[in-house]
Amino acid sequence: MAEQSPKSRLRLLARRLYRRGWMEGTAGNLSLRLGPDLLITASGCHKGVLTEEDILRIPLDGELPLPSPDAKRRPSAETSIHRTIYRLFPKTGAVLHVHTIEASLASECGGSEILLPPLEVLKGLGVADPETRPALPVFENDNRVPEIARAIGERLPDPRYPLPGLLIRHHGTTVWGETLDEALRHLELLEFSMRFLISKCSLESSKEKRYPERI
Ligand SMILES: [Zn+2]
């Protein structure tokens, strides 16, 4: 079977994540590093039906070239976040950003960070001992996306945050990896942790309501 082109890999991954309910409508954006450039999903395109024309090539650094007046597509509105992650973590080969209900709810479970439960899956995110309960950074959402990117650049990297991921409050999850496959694994494991976290919070709150005297 012929090897898939990088654009095709991004397109097919977007469709897979759309079907999973993690990129509903036009939500989320994916990028892949190609030498000094990035391939990134275009803004405003439905993630279930992307074509190769919906994946744009842009430089990793420097000014973005101005789109021609008749350009039908522009890079994702969250391109500045992707570029910041590649700059902060130079080994990064792919960045995935999705909007999930679980991540949005989990972002209410903490202030500027969330202490993750000591789950075995954290080993797949590079945490040798999950009992150390690593912190996941949470950034405030902002309509001015470059402000989110600036805040990320100010706080990361930090040894306090060993995971290849972050949350934007009431917005979604961003993960990165050396390859597209690794970034996908990180996304699945972080989303697993978010599902666990919100189920645990909801269980504890229902116990509190039913048995207040035992708490
Ligand atoms: Zn987003």
> Does residue 42 lie within any of the structural domains?
yes
| CATH assignment at residue 93 | 3.40.225.10
Q: Please report, rounded to a whole number, the percentage of residues in the chain having pLDDT higher than 70.
A: 95
> Does residue 188 lie within any of the structural domains?
yes
- 42, 93, 186, 192, 204 from 37: Cα distances, Å: 15, 11, 23, 31, 47
> Does residue 34 lie within any of the structural domains?
yes
Distance 99 CA to ligand 1 centre (A): 6
Residue with tokens 């645990």: 200
Dihedral sign computed on CA atoms, order 80, 167, 96, 15: negative
Distance 5 CA to ligand 1 centre (A): 25
> Does residue 194 lie within any of the structural domains?
yes
Dihedral sign computed on CA atoms, order 138, 116, 29, 86: positive
CA distance 77 to 88: 19
What pLDDT was estimated at residue 55? 95
CA distance 141 to 152: 11
> Does residue 94 lie within any of the structural domains?
yes
CB–CB of 28/97 below 8 Å?
A: yes
74's tokens = 């522009």
What pLDDT was estimated at residue 1? 59
Distance 165 CA to ligand 1 centre (A): 14
Which residue would you say has higher pLDDT here, 34 or 68? Answer: 34
> Does residue 89 lie within any of the structural domains?
yes
What's the predicted TM-score (pTM) here?
0.93
23's tokens = 């990129």
Number of domains composing the chain: 1
Radius of gyration over alpha carbons of the chain, in Å? Answer: 18
CA distance 159 to 177: 17
End-to-end CA distance of the chain: 59
Is the pLDDT at 23 greater than 90? The verdict is yes
Residue 167 belongs to domain spanning: 6-61+72-203
Hey, which residues does 115 pair with through a beta bridge?
A: 135
70-74, 82-86, 142-146: least confidently modelled range:
70-74
Which residue would you say has higher pLDDT here, 16 or 73? Answer: 16
Residue 68 confidence class, pLDDT cut points 50, 70, 90: low
Distance 212 CA to ligand 1 centre (A): 38
Distance 133 CA to ligand 1 centre (A): 26
Distance 23 CA to ligand 1 centre (A): 9
Tens-digit pLDDT profile for residues 163-210: 999 999 999 999 999 999 999 999 999 999 999 999 988 788 777 777
Is the pLDDT at 129 greater than 90? The verdict is yes
> Does residue 211 lie within any of the structural domains?
no
